[in-house]
């Protein structure tokens, strides 16, 4: 990893964290308005959907198909979450599935010298010693060969700036003064990035260590119900590892999965097709009646 790449990753993590520290006294003094809340919700929705539905279910696992312009739009939204350029993200996640919780997994919490060190590595540490898009020609050849996706990958920096400029300009326009743009930049830009980061990073750490399991898998993935809503369904992570190509991560009626709802809505509108769904029979075949693998805090969920 180059010094520049390491410094960029540090800045991407530290600046939103500092913004959250500053947000505490700002909330105490009520330095947040209705437009800040509105823009925060809108930016959180689109940037998180860019990661969960776009980067993950569509581009990594091809859980459904859609038109190319929509693929590129999802890549743009995902870039605004500031989790890395699209081809690198997809390549890393495919490596994760190929070597889940074994040597070669870029962000497993297991095998790193203890619980705390392992969770740190999976949550954040791996970002500081990992080369982005390493092995992309092997793990993401479909994206490497897609000229439009290569363009989206190279536009990561400008798209990050756009993800900050949009709330600033919208806040300025809604409030009619530059102070409104600055508070929107703070809440819907920096604070939003912090929350998107640590919700999605928790899938790598918490959802491979704490939680519940019900399927037979070779990894130590878990389902964590309390992360389901903010992660838009990604925390049904054990379900996902059992059936990686499933467009729906919530496989039971009560497993909240907003990402899956978006895909279903797209299908009804004719914007998605070849949506991969897992039958109840296939799920039943993969159920287990024994406890989870040794070394995990997960509990069996029947």
CA angle 59, 219, 202 (to 5 degrees): 60
**What is the CB-side half-sphere exposure of residue 236 using CA atoms within 13 A?**
27
What's the confidence (pLDDT) of residue 135? Answer: 79
What tokens appear for 65 in the block?
């198909």
Distance CA 40, CA 38 (A): 5
CA distance 119 to 110: 8
The pair phi, psi for residue 287, each rounded to 5°, is -65, 150
Distance (Å, whole) CA 79 – CA 160 = 6
The reported pLDDT for the residue numbered 32 is 78
| Residue 194 buriedness (CB in 10 A; 0-12 / 13-18 / 19+) | buried
- Residue 22, pLDDT score: 67
Q: At what angle do helices 147-154 and 68-79 cross, to 10 degrees?
A: 20
**Nearest to residue 213, comparing CAs of 281, 286, 107?**
286
pLDDT given for residue 283 in this prediction: 96
Q: Which residues contact 220 (CB under 8 A, 6 or more apart)?
A: 101, 110, 208, 209, 292, 293, 295, 296, 298
Q: Could you write out the DSSP letters of every residue in 66-111? A: --HHHHHHHHHHHHTTTS--HHHHHHHHHHHHHTTTSTT-TT-SSS
Q: How many domains does the chain have?
A: 1
What is the rounded distance in angstroms from the CA atom of residue 73 to the CA atom of residue 76?
5
Per-residue pLDDT in tens (0 to 9) along the chain, 302 residues: 555 555 666 666 676 667 766 666 665 456 778 899 999 999 999 999 999 999 999 999 999 999 999 999 999 999 999 999 999 999 999 999 999 999 989 999 998 878 999 999 999 889 887 766 677 899 999 999 999 999 999 999 999 999 999 999 999 999 999 989 999 999 999 999 999 999 999 999 999 999 999 999 999 999 999 999 999 999 999 999 999 999 999 999 999 999 999 999 999 999 999 999 999 999 999 998 544 443 344 443 43
| Backbone angles phi and psi of 130, in degrees to 5 | -125, 135
For the entire predicted model, the pTM comes to 0.89
Can you give the pLDDT at residue 291? 44
* Full residue range of the structural domain in which residue 239 is found: 3-300
**215: helix, coil or strand?**
strand
């Amino acid at each position: 990893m180059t010094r520049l790449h390491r410094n960029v990753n540090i800045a991407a993590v530290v600046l939103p964290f500092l913004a959250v520290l500053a947000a505490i006294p700002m909330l105490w003094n009520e330095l947040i308005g209705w437009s800040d809340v509105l823009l925060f919700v809108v930016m959180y929705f689109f940037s998180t959907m860019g990661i969960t539905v776009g980067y993950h279910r569509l581009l990594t696992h091809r859980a459904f198909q859609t038109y190319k312009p929509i693929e590129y739009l999802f890549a743009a939204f995902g870039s605004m979450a500031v989790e890395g350029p699209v081809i690198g993200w997809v390549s890393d996640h495919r490596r994760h599935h190929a070597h889940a919780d074994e040597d070669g997994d870029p962000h497993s919490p297991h095998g790193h010298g203890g619980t705390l060190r392992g969770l740190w590595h999976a949550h954040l540490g791996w970002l500081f010693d990992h080369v982005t898009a390493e092995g992309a020609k092997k793990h993401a050849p479909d994206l490497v060969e897609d000229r439009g996706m290569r363009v989206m990958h190279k536009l990561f920096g400008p798209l990050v700036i756009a993800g900050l400029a949009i709330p600033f300009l919208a806040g300025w326009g809604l409030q009619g003064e530059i102070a409104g743009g600055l508070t929107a930049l703070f809440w819907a830009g920096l604070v939003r990035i912090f929350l998107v980061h640590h919700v999605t990073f928790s899938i790598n750490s918490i959802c491979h260590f704490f939680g519940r399991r019900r399927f037979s898998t070779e990894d130590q993935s878990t389902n964590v119900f309390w992360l389901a809503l903010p992660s838009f369904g990604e925390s049904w992570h054990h379900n996902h590892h059992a059936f990686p190509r499933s467009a729906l991560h919530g496989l039971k009626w009560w497993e909240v999965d907003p990402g899956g709802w978006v895909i279903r809505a797209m299908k009804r509108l004719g914007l998605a097709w070849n949506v991969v769904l897992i039958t109840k029979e296939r799920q039943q075949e993969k159920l287990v009646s024994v406890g989870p693998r040794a070394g995990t805090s997960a509990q069996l969920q029947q």
